[in-house]
């Protein structure tokens, strides 16, 4: 092994767990847990950058653009899952793309990850444009497929964000917004990058939740844009209207029935006394933001 490789190996080895193979199960679990606790500090240092990311993503959506999450391998799967979890409905402006396409969700697409032009083609296939925001997920910042996507988005004039552990990487240099939590060495070297992936997932959770709140999908701390697709989702709607409106089940059910099961409209009706037509119109005026609509609604 060369001197450079030796230095790299030492850098990637965690000094605090150098003897972890000699520990009891309880002690090794404690060592892993203590290492994971340090992730909070790494993310804490990135909070201003995460704030910029959420504000820019919100701005992209407000002008009719999309937030497009891209990555390869485990990062790509996180991109897909985040987009699906953000809004399971068929049409929404948060999109996830993975190197190698949908088949890479089940099988490692290592070869696809090396295809520089593939990242560009993936964005072209969805009509990515300057109104959209690209969020690239890459733990080490070295994935050619991600570079291709980044350079294509930048060439179009779109805002580009990168979430990576390596703030000096080529991907990081292409970012308008860089979120680079310094997660340190893994507990055990050689088993991918679980600490870095966990930090990435927590940042994506903040992004998805922040977007939902800014888009008016949340009232208090409850999701209120629920659809009534089946009996289970209808029961969830009733429970949310009861909690938000501080009303009985019968009142919540009647309000939902009178407004075609539009959850936010039913809550506004209960809290303001407006009829379904007036409540729906007031919400439309405020682009679906229940809190703002309530400020203009008559007081009961």
Q: pLDDT of the chain along its 300 residues, tens only?
A: 444 444 344 346 788 888 888 889 999 999 889 888 889 999 999 999 999 999 999 999 999 999 999 999 999 999 999 999 886 565 679 999 999 988 778 776 568 999 999 999 999 999 999 999 999 999 999 999 999 999 999 999 999 999 999 999 999 999 999 999 998 888 888 777 888 899 999 999 999 999 999 999 999 999 999 888 889 999 999 999 999 999 999 999 999 999 999 999 999 999 999 999 999 999 999 999 999 999 998 776
Report CA torsion sign: 294, 238, 245, 206: negative
Query: In the β-sheet with 94-98, what is the strand arrangement from edge to edge?
Result: 94-98, 67-71, 133-137, 159-163, 177-179
> C-alpha dihedral over 139, 140, 142, 147, to 10 degrees?
30
Give the pTM: 0.88
The domains located in the chain, with CATH, are 40-214 (3.40.50.10490), 220-296 (1.10.8.1080)
For residue 11, CA distances in Å to 2, 15, 33, 129, 196 come to 14, 9, 21, 40, 15
Identify whether the C-beta of residue 157 lies closer than 8 Å to the C-beta of residue 183. Answer: no
pLDDT at 190: 73
pLDDT at 9: 42
Hey, how many other C-beta atoms are within 10 angstroms of the C-beta on 198?
Answer: 15
pLDDT at 2: 44
Regarding beta strands 222-223 and 218-219, do their DSSP bridges make them parallel or antiparallel, or are they unpaired? antiparallel
Partners of residue 135 on adjacent β-strands: 69, 161
Identify whether the C-beta of residue 188 lies closer than 8 Å to the C-beta of residue 179. Answer: no
pLDDT at 85: 87
pLDDT at 88: 56
pLDDT at 108: 67
Candidates 44, 77, 70; CA nearest to 181 is 44
> What are the tokens at 70?
């891209």
How far apart CA 63 and CA 57 sit, in angstroms, is 10
pLDDT at 224: 94
Identify whether the C-beta of residue 80 lies closer than 8 Å to the C-beta of residue 43. Answer: no
How far apart CA 235 and CA 50 sit, in angstroms, is 35
Backbone angles phi, psi at 70, to 5 degrees: -130, 150
pLDDT at 36: 85
> How far is it between the farthest Cα atoms of the chain?
76
pLDDT at 103: 77
What are the residue ranges of helices labelled H in the chain?
Answer: 3-12, 25-37, 39-44, 47-62, 73-86, 110-113, 116-125, 144-156, 170-173, 194-214, 231-245, 249-258, 263-272, 276-285, 290-296
pLDDT at 12: 65
Running DSSP on this structure, what letter comes out for residue 230? S
Hey, how many other C-beta atoms are within 10 angstroms of the C-beta on 227?
Answer: 14
User: Under 8 Å CB-to-CB from 132, ≥6 apart: which residues?
Assistant: 60, 65, 66, 67, 68, 153, 158
Identify whether the C-beta of residue 204 lies closer than 8 Å to the C-beta of residue 76. Answer: no
């Amino acid at each position: 092994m060369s001197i450079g490789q030796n230095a790299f190996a030492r850098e990637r080895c965690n000094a605090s767990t150098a003897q972890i193979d000699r520990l009891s199960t309880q002690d090794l679990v404690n060592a892993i847990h203590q290492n994971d606790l340090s992730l909070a500090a790494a993310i804490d240092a990135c909070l201003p950058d995460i704030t910029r990311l959420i504000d820019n993503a919100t701005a992209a959506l407000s002008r009719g653009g999309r937030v497009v999450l891209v990555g390869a391998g485990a990062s790509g799967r996180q991109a897909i899952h985040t987009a699906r979890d953000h809004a399971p409905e068929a049409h929404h402006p948060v999109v996830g793309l993975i190197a190698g396409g949908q088949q890479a969700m089940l099988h490692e697409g290592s070869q696809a990850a090396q295809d520089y032009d593939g990242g560009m083609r993936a964005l072209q296939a969805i009509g990515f444009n300057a109104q959209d925001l690209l969020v690239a997920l890459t733990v080490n910042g070295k994935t050619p497929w991600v570079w291709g996507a980044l350079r294509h988005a930048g060439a179009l004039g779109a805002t580009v964000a990168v979430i990576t552990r390596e703030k000096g990487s080529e991907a990081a240099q292409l970012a308008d917004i860089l979120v680079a939590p310094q997660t340190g060495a893994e507990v055990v070297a050689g088993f991918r990058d679980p600490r870095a992936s966990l930090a990435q997932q927590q940042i994506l959770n903040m992004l998805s939740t922040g977007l939902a709140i800014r888009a008016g999908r949340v009232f208090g701390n409850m999701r209120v844009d629920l659809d009534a697709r089946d009996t289970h989702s209808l029961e969830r709607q009733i429970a949310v209207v009861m909690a938000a409106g501080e009303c009985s089940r019968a009142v919540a059910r009647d309000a939902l029935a009178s407004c075609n099961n539009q959850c936010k409209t039913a809550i506004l009706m209960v809290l303001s006394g407006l009829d379904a037509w007036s409540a729906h119109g007031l919400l439309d005026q405020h682009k679906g933001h229940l809190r703002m609509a309530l400020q203009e609604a008559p007081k009961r």
